[in-house]
Chain A
Amino acid sequence: MSFIDFLLQHSPALIVAIPLLGAFLTPLISKINNRVRNVFVILIILITTILVMLLASDVFSGNIHTYVFGSQDLTVPLVRILFEVDAMSAFMAIIGSILLLVSVIYSWSFIDENSGLDKYYTLVLLLAAGMFGMMLTGDMFNFFVFLEITSIASCALIAFWTNKGKAVEAAFKYIVISSLAALFILFSIALLYGQYNALNIAVLGSVIQFSYLDKIALVLLIAALAMKAGIVPMHMWLPDAYGRAPASVTIILIGATQASLYGVFRVCFTLYGNTINLSSASIGWIIVLLGLITMLIGVAMALIQSDFKRLIAFSAVAEIGFIFLGIGTGLTLFANNQMFGLIGTTAMSGGIFHIINDSLDVGLLFLVAGAVYYATKETSLDKMGGLARHMKYTTIFFIIGLLAISGIPPMNGFASKLLIYESTFQLNPILSIVAILSSIMLLAVFVKVFHSAFLGPALPKFNGVKEVPKTMLFAMGIIASIIIIFGLFPDLVINNIVDPAVNALINYSDYIREVIPTFTGGF
């Protein structure tokens, strides 16, 4: 076995273990000096990213990876935890790794003047371990544990600027909401365990009956995970948390939010995949309606914000609505093979593609907001103006983010939104009209920001403002480059990473069969 094969075989465990070990080592490394600590953290995330890419390249070629912790003897019940990585998990892990890598590079200068950075980086790595764990695990209870790790680390990071009272308040709200969601998830896991004596997602998926208790568990899981994903009207914690956390933290929080979104899809398509045909249209329509409300309320609230980060946070809420609209459309047609083949798969491709696009676009805009704060110490749009004269590169990155989030070619948001518009139009034209209206309003929102922050005469109070340090520009440059590449060549992305992820969700029987080879359900 070559070294690469060895890494590939153990990569599901290493992707979680390396950041976790790194988190515990960071306070010790900090004792040497700050530069060594920063290099160490970047190295840890870089190694994790390489492992994610290695694993993803193998998974996208059609292999599902399972990794067993504990007893290998399948006849011994409950003495093991299973990680199961299919294309959907790998897709999510790619998003998480890109956001983390960009965040730690950006943090080098952005957070440099703060104290308590050993704790900051420890929490970032803990958050990374939790987030990857949620994406890679094949066990419901394990999912809950990683969700808790993610929530606790996120909460502490949101409150990192403790000198600002509102950051602490936002963190408090976040932990209340997260604890409540986790409690309901744990309760639904208990309902499933009580009936089927199993915690493994594949095992549960193979035996689930859609009994009365299963329905209760489904409702609780969807509601709790949707709240963690920021779906309207359960989104209100999100602008508080995103708006008050440092920009370098907000970009990782996007990944954590997407991990909860992944949880919704895993529950609907894999855990309940075998029985979802019974109610896919109803659940699909609920998800579509939640998506529509999320888009409209998110963008309407963004329009009236005057705080830069809070405005982007509401736009992020609206973007999650697009993802829900695409996936919901697919789920609505799940039971109808012919219609699903014609429209559903396109809608799901759009929805899944939009997960990565949303993360990159919103992530870049948050980094720009962080750069503006770093240079001016201002977050209020009413107090800004003429910054393009002092921050040329940041302005260019903002324009790229603006075009991308509004779905304007040649940026990445265009391709995924086009797929969503077309497929939803065929289901019901009103859906695509609302989606296009929301996109236009998003453009209006960011044109407002562009005018109020970057255009206009040079304000005397910003005479001393300079461009941000190179590491911050480099971090923004990474995301901007990916946005442009994805935008110019969407076919390449869809064929190689989006379609395998969509197929992994649709063909849930492959996921189950990897653990239970005798399973005969599914397509």
Chain B
Amino acid sequence: MAIFESLLNTFETGSGFWNPIVWLVTILIIFLIIYILRGFGNKNYKINTEQVKPFLSGNPEYDKEKMHIKGSNIYWGFTESLKWIFDNLNKMHTGNTSDYILWFVVIISILFLVVGLI
């Protein structure tokens, strides 16, 4: 019983807290709200009919493989607008072992400067 009680202890972080029971109650309330909202949905929806087919502005549906958005295309807008950052990051990752060692030397130099000045 004591172990069970200790499991339910509130975890205090100073300003915040975490308790599994509070979380569980919150999740149950959220599910209840979702269930109620679902009740307002269209009751005429029927599975395995024409209704389930995707509507692509009247265009025919492509093959399954072509319809799926590939990993490289996700966040295209984000990566394209920050292209200069990602290009520089890619340049940094040369895959060359000599460059890996060069970065090690750079960090040692910075650490020497900081610790040496104390």
Contact between chains at B115 and A456 (CB < 8 Å): no
List of A residues within 8 angstroms of B16 by Cβ = 418, 422
Distance in angstroms between the alpha carbons of A233 and B79 in the assembled complex: 21
Distance in angstroms between the alpha carbons of A250 and B103 in the assembled complex: 24
Q: Please, which residue of chain A has its CB at the minimum distance from the CB of B26? A: A409
* Contact with B114, one of A227, A282, A409, A415 (Cβ below 8 angstroms): A282
Distance in angstroms between the alpha carbons of A233 and B109 in the assembled complex: 13
Distance in angstroms from A437 CB to nearest chain B CB is: 13
Distance in angstroms from A40 CB to nearest chain B CB is: 35
Interface string of A206-240 (1 = CB under 8 A from B): 00000000011011101100110000011011011
Contact between chains at A303 and B103 (CB < 8 Å): no
List of A residues within 8 angstroms of B107 by Cβ = 223, 226-227, 233-234
Given A180-B101, A304-B79, A422-B16, answer yes or no on A223-B68 (Cβ-Cβ < 8 Å): no
* Contact with A457, one of B13, B64, B104, B110 (Cβ below 8 angstroms): B64
Contact between chains at B71 and A452 (CB < 8 Å): yes
Q: Does A327 touch B at the CB level, under 8 Å?
A: no
List of B residues within 8 angstroms of A380 by Cβ = 71
Q: Please, which residue of chain A has its CB at the minimum distance from the CB of B107? A: A223
Distance in angstroms between the alpha carbons of A414 and B19 in the assembled complex: 12
Given A410-B23, A415-B18, answer yes or no on A346-B106 (Cβ-Cβ < 8 Å): no
Contact between chains at B103 and A456 (CB < 8 Å): no
Most chain A CB within 10 A, of B18, B89, B112, is at: B18
Q: Does B59 touch A at the CB level, under 8 Å?
A: no
Contact between chains at A456 and B114 (CB < 8 Å): no
Q: Please, which residue of chain A has its CB at the minimum distance from the CB of B27? A: A410
Given A300-B89, A491-B10, answer yes or no on A381-B18 (Cβ-Cβ < 8 Å): no
Distance in angstroms from B118 CB to nearest chain A CB is: 5
Is the interface on chain B under 10, 10 to 19, 20 to 34, or 35 or more residues?
35 or more
* Contact with A236, one of B7, B71, B93, B111 (Cβ below 8 angstroms): B93
Distance in angstroms between the alpha carbons of A381 and B74 in the assembled complex: 11
List of A residues within 8 angstroms of B118 by Cβ = 215, 278-279, 282
- Count the A-B residue pairs with Cβ separation under 8 angstroms: how many? 147
Given A227-B104, A457-B68, A492-B7, answer yes or no on A301-B18 (Cβ-Cβ < 8 Å): no
Interface string of A269-284 (1 = CB under 8 A from B): 0000000001100110
* Secondary structure dominating the interface of A: helix
Contact between chains at A173 and B100 (CB < 8 Å): yes
| Contact residues of B between 71 and 118, Cβ < 8 Å to A | 71-72, 74-75, 78-79, 85-86, 89-90, 92-93, 95, 97, 99-101, 103-104, 106-108, 110-112, 114-116, 118
List of A residues within 8 angstroms of B67 by Cβ = 456-457
List of A residues within 8 angstroms of B7 by Cβ = 488-489, 492
Contact between chains at A459 and B68 (CB < 8 Å): yes
List of A residues within 8 angstroms of B115 by Cβ = 215, 218-219, 279, 282-283
Q: Does B6 touch A at the CB level, under 8 Å?
A: yes
Contact between chains at A223 and B108 (CB < 8 Å): yes
Distance in angstroms from B12 CB to nearest chain A CB is: 8
List of A residues within 8 angstroms of B112 by Cβ = 216, 219
Distance in angstroms from A493 CB to nearest chain B CB is: 9
Q: Please, which residue of chain B has its CB at the minimum distance from the CB of A455? A: B68
Contact between chains at A234 and B104 (CB < 8 Å): yes
Contact between chains at B89 and A297 (CB < 8 Å): yes
List of A residues within 8 angstroms of B23 by Cβ = 409-410, 488
Q: Does A464 touch B at the CB level, under 8 Å?
A: no
Contact between chains at A422 and B14 (CB < 8 Å): yes
Q: Does B44 touch A at the CB level, under 8 Å?
A: no
Distance in angstroms between the alpha carbons of A177 and B100 in the assembled complex: 8
Distance in angstroms from B61 CB to nearest chain A CB is: 10
